[in-house]
Amino acid sequence: MDLNTLDPTTRANVQAWLDGTYDAETKQVIRDMIDHNPNELVESFYRNLEFGTGGLRGIMGVGTNRMNRYTVAMATQGLANYVRMSNPHEESLRAAISHDSRNHSREFAEITAQVLAANGFEVFLFDGMRPTPELSFAVRHLRCHTGVMLTASHNPKEYNGYKAYWSDGCQLTAPHDTGVIDEVLKIKDLSDVHLDGGKERIHTIGDEVDTAFLSHVEANAIHPELIRRHHDLKIVYTPLHGTGITLIPRMLKQLGFTNVNVVEEQAVPDGNFPTTPSPNPEEHAAMQMAVDLAKRIDADIVFASDPDADRVGVAVKRPDGQWMLINGNQTLSTIIYYLVNQWKQASRLTGHPYIVSTIVTSELPGDIARRAGVSCYNVLTGFKWIGRKILEMEGQGTFIGGGEESYGYMIGDFVRDKDAVSACCMIAEIAAWAAEQGKTFFDVLVDIYKEYGFYREGLLSVVRKGREGAAEISHMMDTYRSTPPTSINGSPVVRIDDLSTLTSRNLTTGACTHIDLPESNVLQYFTADGSKITVRPSGTEPKIKFYFSVKEPLHDAADFDRVEQALLAKIEAIKQSMQLG
């Protein structure tokens, strides 16, 4: 094809890579696209891969709009510049780096280390793949100013990503998020990147950090004696070809569990994720091999971690012997129920104990906490906001645990991100505690519903692509603000929270109160029957998301299926009421 037929931005990006100091293999790939795949050429170069508040994430390949060693290097130079600007009096800057099992993750980790070292950083690079929560831990443990995790979490195999962390072990929040973005945008070409020198400043880390991290995970255990008594609890675990294999079986053994059955077909790290269509434990297909193994051996509990071992999916056995996948709200609620009640029994609820959840998560964890005398803080969607709240509360309270509906959980504050290692261990301990009472994990969940009400959640994503789609999404939000519903599914709306104005309005009394959160384009409706509907446009995809939370009493375990179906029907009725069917 003739490059002159391309739009100016795409043409300039292509020509810069052909003329620049990029390797010969990369330039040949570009020439091949020019000759044989012009559509891929445009997709690869029509823009620069965006460095957002969560870092980089994109398809791997050659080009400015792809994850590759060059886009990673340029992003790292921007990060290095911002960290140095933010610490003008620090002579020695430090950074920790880890990566998951994805294709090219090690290469991207090494180029990240190379750039940071060339910028004068002392760099601590793990000797192999490690979970995201351990990277978060290592940043604080090694007194680093920043950290980088190379991962695309649970995205398909074609993707990779780059998560940046601040010195608090948390992903970037204001003002550092936009500050780093501004500096990354200033890096226009590979010539702006420091690549040479400083190799002596790259230090390999490994088991010593593993040991320190796992000692904190072990300290989370509330009843080690129950684990010893039920050490032969039949656990099935799958790392889904990811980093969880490095630490989770080891930690379960360290706690005393002796009957951990790993899904061997999925135990081998592999960035192609060959045994599952998606390495996402939220999806039934990803959990299927683990559930099949559980059926064969008559297991007690099943859990899976995603490729970077920050999310956990759980399957539990029902009284009829059937296996059921529970969602993130159910897992979080059970963890919070166990933590706060066991802390209460041990008289540990002192010094303003609190949990943290997100605004789109079920109300159940907060209800459980408050009844036990524990505060619950709700933050914006995303674990970085949970980490930020913990930082704000340092010296003012004791963090017990927290999480969000999308299968992420945190126990204790030594990690400031989702932690599948700690979560898997706590889930196993809860299963042992249940066994001590002649119960299962499922029975504990039912007990919670009988005590607090049966909460059920749903999610609907409405996709609207392109410029017209973005305008339609904006119009939908404007309409929901200007003419909000007065009732939803026949139940009066009693409260509206608008996070764009940080105002909570009680429609019964007319009172308005301030919401102590950062501004966000989110609306929430609360109805008289206890339903909660949250509306928020996605920040990364062309869609608007609707989160539904409903509840009904559960008086008898035998009514579980009937009440659940009634709740699911109620969610569908709410969708119809809001004309979302």
In order, the DSSP letters of 4-69 are: GGS-HHHHHHHHHHHHSS--HHHHHHHHHHHHH-HHHHHHHHSSPPP-BTTBEEEEBSSSTTSBSH
Give me the residue label for tokens 């609820």. Answer: 349
H or E stretch at 109: helix 105-118
**Long-range CB contacts for residues 370-378, cutoff 8 Å, separation at least 24:** 371/452, 372/340, 372/341, 372/343, 372/344, 373/344, 373/349, 374/340, 374/349, 374/400, 378/517
Contact 482, 516 (CB under 8 A): no
Question: Residue 370 CB: number of other CB atoms within 10 A?
Answer: 13
> Catalytic pick from 98, 105, 136, 153?
153
- What are the distances in angstroms from CA 578 to CA 156, 250, 567, 572? 32, 49, 17, 10
Contact 72, 56 (CB under 8 A): yes
Ordered alpha helix ranges (H), 147-243: 176-186, 207-219, 224-229
- What are the distances in angstroms from CA 208 to CA 165, 200, 519? 21, 20, 41
Structure tokens given for 365: 């964890």
Q: Is 176 helix (H, G, I), strand (E, B) or coil?
A: helix
CA atoms within 13 A on the CB side of 332: 32
- What are the distances in angstroms from CA 22 to CA 29, 33, 191, 551? 11, 16, 10, 58
The end-to-end CA distance of the chain, in Å, is: 46
H or E stretch at 77: helix 69-86
| Annotated catalytic residue 153 | yes
Q: List all residues 6 or more positions away from 34 whose beta carbon is below 8 Å from its beta carbon.
A: 1, 3, 14, 41
Helix axis angle, 8-19 to 24-36, nearest 10°: 140
- Tell how many helices (H) and how many strands (E) occur in the chain: 18, 23
Question: Residue 520 CB: number of other CB atoms within 10 A?
Answer: 18
Contact 459, 545 (CB under 8 A): yes
Instruction: Give the residue numbers marked as catalytic.
Output: 153
